[in-house]
């Protein structure tokens, strides 16, 4: 009978955790060296509350990364609904992904651990599934050719988190994105995916 009484406490704790994660995301986006105490102050919670949720800096960084990826993956239906076309949704979603990856890279050595690699590996499948959903929507309206592989597309779009910072980098990313999208568009006269190389004699 005590379980219902615990529900508000759990809901409050969950809201606190989500709030801390969002504040930490914003703080890390500004500076990868932001301290946990500074994040606690910015979130309006005591250091003890933050450390209770995230005992170490790495725990917080990993939680922010997982939180960001989960939110991005879950956003696909909303992004598709809000965009003028599925291809616009594709552009918007990948720009957001690039922002998250750049943030992750900006945290430097804090992310070069086995635990982080495990987190990256565990989020790969959901991200690839989200890309596949975007590709299906684009394929259905004819803006990309059928049969594109989500993992290949994700790898192709990796240039987005390698461009430089600032407006110059953003402009380069826009140009490169349109070049990449041009390679995804339907091929005139082709009924399906672009065929691979034709084997030579004896192969």
For residue 13, give every residue at least 6 positions away whose Cβ sits within 8 Å of its Cβ, in sequence order, or none.
Answer: none
Tens of pLDDT along the chain (203 residues) come to 444 545 555 777 788 889 999 999 888 888 878 889 999 999 999 999 899 889 988 888 888 888 888 999 999 999 999 999 999 999 999 999 888 777 665 555 555 566 666 777 788 899 999 999 999 999 999 999 999 999 999 999 988 888 887 788 889 989 999 999 999 999 876 655 444 444 444 44
Positions of CATH 1.10.357.10 in the chain: 57-184
pTM, entire model: 0.76
Residue 165, Cβ neighbours under 10 Å: how many? 9
188 and 102 in contact (C-beta within 8 Å)?
no
Which pLDDT score, from 0 to 100, does residue 88 have?
Answer: 97
Burial class (CB in 10 A: 0-12, 13-18, 19+), 60: buried
Give the class (CATH, top level) of 57-184.
mainly alpha
Q: Which CATH fold topology does 12-55 show?
A: Arc Repressor Mutant, subunit A (1.10.10)
93 and 76 in contact (C-beta within 8 Å)?
yes
Which pLDDT score, from 0 to 100, does residue 199 have?
Answer: 46
Nearest partner of 110 among 18, 24, 50, judged by Cα: 24
Positions of CATH 1.10.10.60 in the chain: 12-55
Backbone phi, then psi, for 106, in 5-degree steps? -70, -15
Place of tokens 């965009």: 83
């Amino acid at each position: 009978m005590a379980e219902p009484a615990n529900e508000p406490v759990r809901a409050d704790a969950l809201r606190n955790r989500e709030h801390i994660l969002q504040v930490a995301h914003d703080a890390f986006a500004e500076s990868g060296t932001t301290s946990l105490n500074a994040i606690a102050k910015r979130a309006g919670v005591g250091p003890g509350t933050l450390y209770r949720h995230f005992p170490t800096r790495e725990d917080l960084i990993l939680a922010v990364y997982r939180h960001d990826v989960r939110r991005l993956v879950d956003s696909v239906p909303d992004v598709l609904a809000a965009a003028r076309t599925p291809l616009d949704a594709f552009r918007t979603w990948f720009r957001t992904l690039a922002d998250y990856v750049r943030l992750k890279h900006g945290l430097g050595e804090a992310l070069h651990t086995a635990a982080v690699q495990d987190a990256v590996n565990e989020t790969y499948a959901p991200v690839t599934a989200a890309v596949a959903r975007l590709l299906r929507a684009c394929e259905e309206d004819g803006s990309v050719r059928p049969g594109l592989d989500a993992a290949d597309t994700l790898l192709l779009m990796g240039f987005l988190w390698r461009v430089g910072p600032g407006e110059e980098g953003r402009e380069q990313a826009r140009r490169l994105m349109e070049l990449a999208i041009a390679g995804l568009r339907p091929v005139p006269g082709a009924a399906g995916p672009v065929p691979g190389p034709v084997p030579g004699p004896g192969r």
